[in-house]
Amino acid sequence: MLDVSVLPAFLVAVVVILVTPGPDMAFLVATGINQGRRAAVRGAFGVTSAMTIWVLVAATGLGVALTQLPAALDAIRIAGAGYLAFLAITTWRSAGAEITEAGTVPNVFRRGFLVNITNPKVALFFVAFLPQFLGSAGEHPLAQMLMLGLLLQLIGLVADITIGSTAGLFRDAVLGRRRVRLALDGVAGTVYGGLAVLLLLGVVRG
């Protein structure tokens, strides 16, 4: 069973990690501002759904195997860079456009899922992070990993919804201000593009 003595350190580490800027946060903030809180919540569930896969990969040992396959990690990096570049281009092209209602954006969940699942750093994180908090007795490591992963997902979902919803609060403030929306979209697109470049640099550097 889960060693409760490790929970305080685990929770602190999780909070620190979740507030660190990255592709997920950039996506949720941009979605909240451009499409509102409901869309941001959908995106948060998409991100969490992808995390479920990474938890299973780490818990079953597939993550360790993945880290031993540089070509596989590079493929994920390239896919992630491509998708972030796509988001950057679409964000730049729609900069300053009328803000879309959440109900007309059925692909928000899918976008959240793809942003997370194509980020190899998430896979490496789960493989390296979760085993550190297994009980000292080492009993039932699979069950412990799954429980820690579930706890991380729940905390992550709450954090992602909070981030996206907070960004959504600015939606009404920028509805009638095209210049503000133009600037925000430009920043979001630049962040996506920068993250895409960083992923590609990871491939080049090996």
The answer on pLDDT for 202 being more than 50 is yes
pTM of the model: 0.81
pLDDT tens per residue across span 28-65: 998 888 788 899 999 999 999 999 999 888 888 777 77
In the predicted structure, residue 113 carries a pLDDT above the cut 80:
yes
- The whole-angstrom distance between residue 161's C-alpha and the CA centroid of its chain comes to 12
pLDDT of residue 176: 65
CA angle 199, 203, 206 (to 5 degrees): 130
Higher-confidence residue: 123 or 106? 123
pLDDT in tens, 129-177: 888 887 665 567 788 888 888 999 999 999 999 999 998 887 767 666 7
